[in-house]
Structure 1
Amino acid sequence: MTVVEERTVTVPVRRERPVVRRAVRGLALLGALGVWQVLTAADARVWVRFDRLPGPVEVAREFGRQLGHGPYYADVAQSLVRILTGFGLAAVAGIGLGIALARSRWAQDLLQPLLEVARPIPAIALVPVAILLFPANEQGIVFITFTAAFFPVLVSTRHAVAALPGVWEDAVRTLGGGRWRVLTGVVLPGALPGVFGGLSVGMGVAWICVVSAEMISGDFGVGYRTWQAYTIVDYPGVLVGMITIGVLGRATSGLVELAGRRLLAGRLG
């Protein structure tokens, strides 16, 4: 009898070191800034017009000027309060209703038709409704932010819960677990990846809509200040506002993603 010896060949996985990846990302950013500077300095017109666009040096100078004044920080704080309030309310409502829609036929019959009709409506289109419904602009802007973040969280949570294997719940119930045990031991932990995917998308959409709402009906905030800069033909100020929005959006989305990784790591650990 011939014995065939099986050998497992391990293929080394090539992983880039974090320092190398950071260096590549930094060089990509510097390269983009360099191209921007060259095109604006040469007043280039290559399908789009760079002859009227301020260059990065001019924008950096304006950024430094605004960082030395209090109104810039007041606008950032106002936008953050709006985004965190609206997003926090949307997270609670979206996760709760998403679980209910995935697990309750009564919730599906009563709520889903209305929600499916409202979901395609862009949140920014609700600005006139918000003006009519709420006595203050602040409440209306928070409402628009809430609406923008609510539906991505709702849909992602509903699909994540509905996709959970039924055998998990059956196992818990076989061991004597009730509804609360199923919710805390199966539904919430199992749906976490989908829930945080929806939260990350919702945060990005919320920033788009809160800035748009500030431009239309706000008195303070980064969006309001960016629009005011445009009305007085302060193009470096416009780009400062755009960069600020991008940085704030990336920072808040990064915090949501970090929280998701920590919770998922704790669950797996």
Structure 2
Amino acid sequence: MATPSAVATESAEGASDRDEGGRVWRSRAIRLVSVVAAIVVWQLLTANHIRLWVRFDTLPTVTQIVHAFGHQLGTGTYWLDLGQSVIRILSGFVLAALAGVASGVALGRSRLFSDIFGPLTELARPIPAIAIVPVAILLFPTDEAGIVFITFLAAYFPIMVSTRHAVRALPVIWEDSVRTLGGGRWDVLLRVVLPGSLPGVFGGLSVGIGVAWICVVSAEMISGRLGVGYRTWQAYTIVDYPGVFVGIITIGVLGFATSAAVELLGRRATAWLPRAGAEAK
């Protein structure tokens, strides 16, 4: 038979779970309402040809964009462009993740590697990746390889810098503890450096995927033959403004989906960490 204190504890836990569930659903409802409100305001401003500080009368209405979106979804060209952009972003981002994490760990752990490679990265890092488009066109035999290279550069530096800082911020006592127990260099790397730097690594990956989307779309507009960015710019040149917004919305959805996937993977990989401010998220 349960004691009164046990019953009270279970009741308190149940109430806490209900409160937490209520907060989650309330947060989701507020986010949904904010998006719907923005769409309604857009429709009212464009349908009524409002001119304030900006000219909403020159922009397509929500209904026009929805109609164009429905038409695009029924064409093979839309899905071909979408698939091409996704292949480019994944190719460049995966290469950047591998190279960025490896070089970031090496820069954080090896003074010799930092002396040799560090100055080169600091000189190249401030250069916008999109400014390398002319070089990529000259350097690679195909536009496809050049666009993937631009995407790689865009994602590489945020990942590398975040990983390097995360490795250098690890407490020295962690490494000393492993070595005291007889661990070698690989034990320190696998048991201290990589797990300890994971939050910083995924922070860099999250930033990197966002910057990569900016640059891949820009590169597609400049030198692409297929892709969401190329098709968006083409729609602008033929004065198909609803088509432009179809491209913009597609880019936003793709960016949101890939960023959410990186964040979800990061939360799964660092599930052992305490979550500060989880309620605010």
Tell me the TM-score range normalised by the shorter chain: over 0.9
Report the residue type matching 2:110 in the other structure: S
Residues 1:207 and 2:213 aligned together = yes
**What is the match of residue 172 of structure 2?**
166
Report the residue type matching 2:115 in the other structure: D
Residues 1:108 and 2:114 aligned together = yes
**What is the match of residue 35 of structure 1?**
41
Q: For 1:1-269, list aligned pairs within 5 A.
A: 15=20, 16-265=22-271
Cα displacement (A) at 1:20: 1.6
The separation in 2 between residues aligned to 1:110 and 1:163, in whole angstroms, is 21
Report the residue type matching 1:223 in the other structure: G
Whose helix fraction is larger, Structure 1's or Structure 2's?
2
Cα displacement (A) at 1:41: 1.1
The separation in 2 between residues aligned to 1:189 and 1:219, in whole angstroms, is 41
Cα displacement (A) at 1:17: 2.6
The separation in 2 between residues aligned to 1:181 and 1:254, in whole angstroms, is 32
Output one character per residue of 1:39-64: Cα deviation in whole Å (capped at 9) or x when no partner.
Answer: 00111111000001001111001000
Cα displacement (A) at 1:191: 0.4
The separation in 2 between residues aligned to 1:167 and 1:145, in whole angstroms, is 38
TM-score (norm. length: structure 2): 0.89
**What is the match of residue 3 of structure 1?**
none
Identity %: 66
Cα displacement (A) at 1:267: 6.7
TM-score (norm. length: structure 1): 0.93
The separation in 1 between residues aligned to 2:259 and 2:215, in whole angstroms, is 15
Superposition RMSD on alpha carbons, in Å?
1.3
Cα displacement (A) at 1:18: 2.1
Unaligned ranges ≥5, structure 2: 1-15, 275-281
The separation in 2 between residues aligned to 1:114 and 1:22, in whole angstroms, is 45
The separation in 2 between residues aligned to 1:106 and 1:207, in whole angstroms, is 33
Cα displacement (A) at 1:22: 1.4
Output one character per residue of 1:95-141: Cα deviation in whole Å (capped at 9) or x when no partner.
Answer: 00000001101111100111100000000000000000000000000
The separation in 2 between residues aligned to 1:204 and 1:120, in whole angstroms, is 17
The separation in 2 between residues aligned to 1:165 and 1:218, in whole angstroms, is 46
The separation in 1 between residues aligned to 2:196 and 2:180, in whole angstroms, is 18
The separation in 2 between residues aligned to 1:19 and 1:267, in whole angstroms, is 24
Output one character per residue of 1:51-110: Cα deviation in whole Å (capped at 9) or x when no partner.
Answer: 010011110010000001111011000000000000000000000000000110111110
Q: How many residues align?
A: 257
- Is the 1:189–1:267 contact (alpha carbons within 8 Å) kept by the matching residues of 2? no
